[in-house]
Every structure is written in structure tokens, then in C-alpha cells.
């Protein structure tokens, strides 16, 4: 029931309202400041104090659209509206929810009173439409208040009382208003408190729902990231039980979510991983881990981080797992040997080069071991890269190793890797070999003829078993590698000499491909000359043409250094040709011109004594010594009875290699 003080106050309010409507004057000692300000605004808006009509009302279609947009708030507000209505009784009260634009979205209570007060859904109850009322002031000022009887601007509401409280978001923006209206005779001093408490509860629920929605979005976002990261991620409890995994973990272990989550990590990998994690927690280094998946042993790098609870104790561990094959492949792409050439980069129209390319392309699609044999400078590495880029392995590693450029005692560790402590200078944690780095891709073994015999035996075993054992270790590591070997030596002859294992030769010589020498495809010289000339002059403004005499002399030369020698000669001549002169035979080095001249004179003077220049004889002697020693510079220097440094200088002078 209303208090006596409230009813007496309403009598005074009626007198002040009548005076304001008649004169525009009001006693502010009687009326509250909020009410006086609202009356003045209502008068300014042109609200008719004697009318009971509401001009603005939503159509049914627009009302449904607005309700749909407002549904998240309405769903929370309706239970509170029902609770208030049940608490105050079913007669003489209307509980309403109004949106931020002043439109009634929902209304519960006395239908007769609702019609009398025009509190139907879709009606607009802002100050601009109905004058001073609790809902309008709550919307405009963002405050909770109760408007009693004659405090209303419209006379039709002078026997009514409305209590209203705004509902705000976390930024203090008004989202809507909760109100309760009824007869002055039924209003209670605590009505406003009930409405305000409900409004605050609705705000709390809204913010809680918002936080939950944000948490869901964050979890969905994190889960999406976790599932798309291209490495395995899992969380385990302090006791080692797997609590969560991502897609790549399932793929790596070849198991489903239910087969992994809830299991102990040691049981999954068949290793004491939990013990290692707790022991190595202070280390930031990745640890190598081997595990079985579908009966096949796999090698991975794992790292781990603790997840702390509020009391700063370790609650869980976050583990990342990266398959070494993918890690090594990425490292090789970024920093290692890359297969940048394709068969399109191998120039020439001769039958010899086209036949070699055709055979290489055909073999590329298989996994057969390939042996490339040919003289130095004929492009064996370009063929190897072309085969890799034509094969199904083209997106994986291409790893290169020159077997003749590595000290004999390091060849095995370079190929097969080593474990920690395998030898004095072995790095901590060991090191993977070229076979592991090439896992899933191609390993190019250049100068295979220079490989030590003891390493040849190990290589044969790897080729046959597809398994590697690191130097100093005993752990068997499976590898999936396509091997391409290359040599300028006659391996069959090396087998007869005892320098190369016959069983390895037969294992490598499955698909032999010859890279033809340049003197066997002289029709390609013009193509190569034009290509290298364009390449070496593309960064300059040099527009010189090439005389036919230049092509003639280039075609007559035997090119012992093959395409590599021709490339070096073209680089030299493009640096010395004048800016406004054509490239001609006069620009060629004397060694080539005199060699060609010697051949011409020899044909003309078959029966005459002929004295050849010393530098030609010297060059021929060096070439013969290198051939006899299989390009072993130490042996060649001994045969020529000169020092190695002298031999190096003369090789560079004559551009032999």
C-alpha cells in the first residue's frame, strides 16, 4: 500500500501541475528538479497535456523485426518481469520492457490497465510522445526513478504511478528500461527498489552472457588456430594424462581424438616422456623423440611449457611436436640446397641432349636410384634438380653433398649424422645427416666415385634397408629418400681397380643417364653463346651484336671444360668487348684461338715439322695429367713435377676446370 506521505504529496503535485499548465511557473521547493526539467522539456516538445493519444506506433512487421534484434535482452528480461508481476499480484499492475528508442517490446499484467495507459507493445513512451513519465526520464537521463500521479505531464496519468530503471551496458549506454505501472492507490514505497534490483540483475546477466560469448569466441578462435597450426599440439596433466590435442597430433599418431585424450602420454609414445619433461623443464631446447605410428617408427622434435594454476603450481604441460622430416624440409628450403632448375633450364636442340632429357623426365616419376655420368661441366647437377622438380617429391627437400669435397673421416657423419659424444668435436645433442635432412625428398650425391670404401658399405646398407643409424648410435631411423648419384669417373673401371664396390655400383646403376659433353653436341654452342651473352649483359646498356666469326671459332674449339668453361669464357669476353663494337673472334682468349690455329695448321702441314707454342703444350700436359689422375690435383702436380700452388694458378690461367 502507498504511504500517507506519498498520497499527500500527490495533492500538492496536482496544484503545481495546474499552475504550470496555466502560467508556466512552478514551485521548485515542492516539485523535484527531475520533474520540473521534464515538464519544461515536454512543453517544449509540444506535448498536449490533456490528450491521451500516442502518435508513434510500430507496425506489426517492424515490431517483429525490432523484437528479433532485441531478442538476446528480452530473453533475459522476461523471467524477471514475470517474477515482479507474481510478487506484486495479478491486479492493477503492468510490467513493461522498453527498448532504447522508447518502444514497448513486452508487457505483462492487467489488460484493462494496459489499454488505459496505452502500454501495448509497439507504442512509444518517450518524453517527446507522452511527456513526463518515469520511462521517458530513465531513457533520457539514465537514472532510476518513480513518477507519482500528478508528476506526470499528461493529465490522463495523474491517478497512475510508474517506477522505471534503465538497463545499461558496460560502457554506461542505456540499452532499455524496465518499468512497472499501476494505480496510485496500489503503489508501494519499495516498488522502485524491486524494479531497480531486477534491472541490475538483468544487467548482470547480460554482461555474464557477453563474457561467456566472448569466451566462446576466444575459445573458438584459439581452437581454430590450434587446429590449423602445422605441428602437433597437446596438453597433458601433471600426471601425464592427455587432456587435449589438435588435428596434426591425430594425423601424426594416426589415431582419433578419443583414442588419444584420456590416455597417458608414455603409453602413446612407448617412452618415459613425462619423466623427461619434468627433468628437462628448465631447458628451452627441443628434444628428439622417436615413436611408433601405424607400426612405423617416426622421429620428432618436442618442446614443452608448464601451465600454472592460481597457486603457481604446475597444473598442466603444453607440448608441441614437430616431425623432423618437415622441420628439415623447411630448413633446407630456407637455408639449404635448393632445386631451382627444371628441365626447361637445360639448353640445347641436339639429339644427344634431348635424348638425355627425355630419359630423365621418364625416370623422374619413379623412385628408382639414378646414376648421372658425364664429364665435368656437363650439367649433372642441373639434371639432378630437374629430375627432383619433375618428380612427386618436388615439394620436399632437395639435399646436395659433394662426396669429393669432404674429408674422408667426415663423410659418414655428414651422410648419416652422429649422436652426442660420437667424437671429440661432436655437438651437444648430436646432428642429423643428409639422409635425415632429405627424408621425403631427394639426396644428390655428387662425385660418388670419390667416396671412401668404408662409407660405401654403409651407403649400400641404407639404400637397401631405407634405415639410418647415426655414427656412434644404435637407434634405427627410417628414411624415405630418392638417391641421385653423379660422377665424371668410369665407375665400372673403378670397380675393376678396386676403388669402388661392385655391389654398390650395381645398386646405383639402376637407371644410368649420360650428360653429353659439349663437343658431342656442337650445334648447341650457338644457343649457349646467345644465352650467356644475354645473361651477362642484361644489367648493362651493352647492345653489341655477335659476329659470325665468333660462333665459328667457338664451334671449332673442343671445350674440355664443357658448358662450365664456355660460361666462363662468355663472362670474360663480355667484360672486355668495347661499348660500340661487335663481339668477334678477336675477343676470345689466346688459348682458344691458338688451339684452333694449331689444329688448322696441323691439317695443312701433315708432313712438315711444326713447333707449337709452349703455353699450348703446357695446357695439354695439364689436361692429360688431370685425366690420368681423375682430377686429383695432388697426383697431377706430382706427375707434372710442379707444386700444387703452381698447378692451381695455371689451371685458373687456362680455365681448364
- Output the pLDDT for position 248: 86
Which residue has better confidence, 349 or 599? 349
Answer yes or no: is pLDDT of 335 > 70.
Answer: no
Tell whether 217 is covered by a domain.
no
* Averaged pLDDT for residues 142-157: 93
* 442-473 residue pLDDT tens: 999 999 999 999 899 999 999 999 999 988 88
Provide the pLDDT confidence category of residue 393 given band limits of 50, 70 and 90.
very high
Q: How many CB atoms are located within 10 Å of the residue 472 CB?
A: 15
* Averaged pLDDT for residues 581-595: 84
Are residue 274 and residue 346 in the same domain, yes or no? no
Answer yes or no: is pLDDT of 89 > 60.
Answer: yes
Lowest mean pLDDT among 321-330, 459-468, 563-572: 321-330
Tell whether 223 is covered by a domain.
no
Tell whether 219 is covered by a domain.
no
DSSP string across 626-645: HHHTTT-HHHHHHHHTS-HH
What is the chain's mean pLDDT, rounded? 85
* Averaged pLDDT for residues 23-43: 94
- Output the pLDDT for position 604: 42
Lowest mean pLDDT among 22-36, 117-131, 204-218, 524-538: 117-131
d(CA 481, CA 399): 10
Domain boundaries, position 146: 4-211
Cell 695443312 sits at which residue? 604
Q: What nine digits make up the cell of 390? A: 619433375
Are residue 34 and residue 122 in the same domain, yes or no? yes
* Averaged pLDDT for residues 339-345: 92
Answer yes or no: is pLDDT of 609 > 60.
Answer: no
pTM of the model: 0.56
Are residue 536 and residue 512 in the same domain, yes or no? no
Tell whether 477 is covered by a domain.
yes
* Averaged pLDDT for residues 196-211: 93
* Averaged pLDDT for residues 532-546: 80
Are residue 101 and residue 180 in the same domain, yes or no? yes
* Averaged pLDDT for residues 567-575: 90
Answer yes or no: is pLDDT of 3 > 60.
Answer: no
- Output the pLDDT for position 1: 46
Are residue 110 and residue 186 in the same domain, yes or no? yes
Are residue 237 and residue 254 in the same domain, yes or no? yes
What CATH number should be reported for the domain holding residue 288? 3.30.450.20
Answer yes or no: is pLDDT of 168 > 80.
Answer: yes
Are residue 510 and residue 524 in the same domain, yes or no? no
Cell 655437438 sits at which residue? 427
Backbone torsions φ then ψ of 606, nearest 5 degrees: -60, -30
Are residue 120 and residue 262 in the same domain, yes or no? no
Provide the pLDDT confidence category of residue 607 given band limits of 50, 70 and 90.
very low
Answer yes or no: is pLDDT of 58 > 70.
Answer: yes
Cell 520533474 sits at which residue? 35
Lowest mean pLDDT among 74-83, 195-204, 393-402, 635-644: 635-644
Tell whether 426 is covered by a domain.
yes
* Averaged pLDDT for residues 72-93: 83
> Do 536 and 574 touch, CB atoms closer than 8 A?
yes
- Output the pLDDT for position 592: 85
d(CA 63, CA 45): 25
> Do 179 and 191 touch, CB atoms closer than 8 A?
no
Provide the pLDDT confidence category of residue 116 given band limits of 50, 70 and 90.
low
* Averaged pLDDT for residues 410-425: 83
Q: What angle do CA 381, 514, 354 make, to 5 degrees?
A: 90
Total domains present in the chain: 4
Are residue 295 and residue 342 in the same domain, yes or no? no
The percent of residues in the chain predicted with pLDDT above 90, rounded, is 43
Amino acid at each position: 500500500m502507498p504511504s500517507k506521505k506519498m498520497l499527500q504529496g500527490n495533492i500538492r503535485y496536482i496544484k503545481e501541475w495546474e499552475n504550470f499548465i496555466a502560467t508556466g511557473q512552478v514551485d521548485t521547493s515542492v516539485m523535484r528538479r527531475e520533474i520540473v526539467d521534464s515538464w519544461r522539456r515536454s512543453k517544449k516538445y509540444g506535448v498536449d497535456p490533456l490528450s491521451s493519444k500516442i502518435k508513434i506506433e510500430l507496425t506489426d512487421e517492424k515490431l517483429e523485426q525490432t523484437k528479433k534484434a532485441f531478442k538476446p535482452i528480452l530473453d533475459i528480461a522476461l523471467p524477471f518481469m514475470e517474477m515482479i508481476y507474481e510478487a506484486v499480484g495479478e491486479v492493477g499492475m503492468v510490467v513493461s520492457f522498453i527498448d532504447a528508442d522508447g518502444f514497448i517490446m513486452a508487457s505483462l499484467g492487467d489488460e484493462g490497465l494496459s489499454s488505459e495507459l496505452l502500454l501495448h507493445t509497439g507504442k512509444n513512451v518517450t518524453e517527446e510522445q507522452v511527456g513526463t513519465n518515469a520511462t521517458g526520464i530513465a531513457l533520457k537521463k539514465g537514472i532510476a526513478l518513480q513518477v507519482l500521479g500528478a508528476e506526470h505531464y499528461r493529465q490522463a496519468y495523474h491517478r497512475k504511478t510508474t517506477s522505471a530503471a534503465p538497463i545499461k551496458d558496460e560502457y554506461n549506454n542505456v540499452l532499455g528500461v524496465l518499468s512497472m505501472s499501476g494505480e496510485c492507490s496500489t503503489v508501494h514505497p519499495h516498488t522502485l527498489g524491486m524494479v531497480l534490483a531486477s534491472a541490475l540483475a538483468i544487467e548482470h546477466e547480460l554482461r555474464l552472457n557477453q563474457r561467456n560469448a566472448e569466451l566462446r569466441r576466444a575459445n573458438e578462435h584459439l581452437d581454430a588456430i590450434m587446429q590449423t597450426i602445422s605441428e602437433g599440439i597437446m596438453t597433458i596433466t601433471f600426471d601425464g594424462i592427455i587432456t587435449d590435442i589438435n588435428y596434426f597430433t591425430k594425423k601424426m599418431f594416426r589415431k582419433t581424438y578419443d583414442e588419444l585424450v584420456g590416455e597417458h602420454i608414455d603409453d602413446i609414445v612407448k617412452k618415459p616422456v613425462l619423466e623427461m619433461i619434468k627433468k628437462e623443464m628448465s631447458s628451452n631446447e627441443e628434444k628428439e623423440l622417436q615413436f611408433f605410428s601405424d607400426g612405423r617408427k617416426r622421429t620428432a622434435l618436442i618442446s614443452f611449457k608448464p601451465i600454472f594454476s592460481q597457486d603457481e603450481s604446475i597444473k598442466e604441460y603444453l607440448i608441441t611436436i614437430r616431425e623432423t622430416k618437415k622441420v628439415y624440409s623447411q630448413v633446407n628450403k630456407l637455408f639449404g640446397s635448393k632445386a631451382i632448375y627444371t628441365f626447361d633450364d637445360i639448353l640445347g636442340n641436339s639429339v644427344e641432349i634431348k635424348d638425355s632429357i627425355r630419359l630423365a623426365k621418364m625416370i623422374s616419376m619413379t623412385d628408382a636410384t639414378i646414376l648421372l655420368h658425364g664429364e665435368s661441366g656437363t650439367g649433372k647437377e642441373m639434371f639432378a634438380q630437374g629430375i627432383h622438380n619433375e618428380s612427386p617429391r618436388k615439394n620436399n627437400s632437395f639435399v646436395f653433398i659433394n662426396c669429393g669435397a669432404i674429408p674422408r673421416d667426415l663423410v659418414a657423419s655428414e651422410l648419416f649424422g652422429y649422436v652426442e659424444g660420437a667424437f671429440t668435436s661432436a655437438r651437444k645433442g648430436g646432428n642429423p645427416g643428409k639422409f635425415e635432412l632429405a627424408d621425403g625428398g631427394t639426396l644428390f650425391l655428387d662425385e660418388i666415385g670419390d667416396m671412401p670404401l668404408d662409407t660405401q658399405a654403409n651407403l649400400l646398407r641404407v639404400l637397401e634397408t631405407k634405415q639410418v643409424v647415426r655414427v656412434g648410435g644404435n637407434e634405427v631411423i627410417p628414411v624415405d629418400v630418392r638417391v641421385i648419384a653423379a660422377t665424371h669417373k668410369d665407375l665400372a673401371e673403378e670397380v675393376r681397380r678396386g676403388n669402388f664396390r661392385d655391389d654398390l655400383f650395381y645398386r646405383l646403376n639402376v637407371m644410368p643417364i649420360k650428360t653429353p659433353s659439349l663437343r658431342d653436341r656442337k650445334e648447341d654452342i650457338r644457343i649457349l653463346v646467345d644465352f650467356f651473352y644475354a645473361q651477362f649483359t642484361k644489367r648493362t646498356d651493352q647492345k653489341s651484336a655477335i659476329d659470325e666469326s665468333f660462333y665459328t671459332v667457338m664451334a671449332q674449339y673442343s671445350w674440355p671444360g664443357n658448358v662450365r668453361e664456355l660460361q666462363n669464357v662468355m663472362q670474360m669476353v663480355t667484360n672486355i668487348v668495347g661499348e660500340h663494337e661487335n663481339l668477334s673472334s678477336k675477343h676470345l682468349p689466346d688459348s682458344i684461338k691458338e688451339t684452333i690455329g694449331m689444329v688448322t695448321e696441323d691439317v695443312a702441314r701433315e708432313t712438315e715439322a711444326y713447333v707449337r707454342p709452349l703455353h699450348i703444350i703446357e695446357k695439354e700436359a695439364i689436361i692429360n695429367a688431370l685425366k690420368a689422375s681423375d682430377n686429383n690435383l695432388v697426383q697431377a702436380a706430382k706427375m707434372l713435377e710442379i707444386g700444387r700452388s703452381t698447378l692451381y694458378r695455371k689451371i685458373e690461367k687456362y680455365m681448364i676446370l
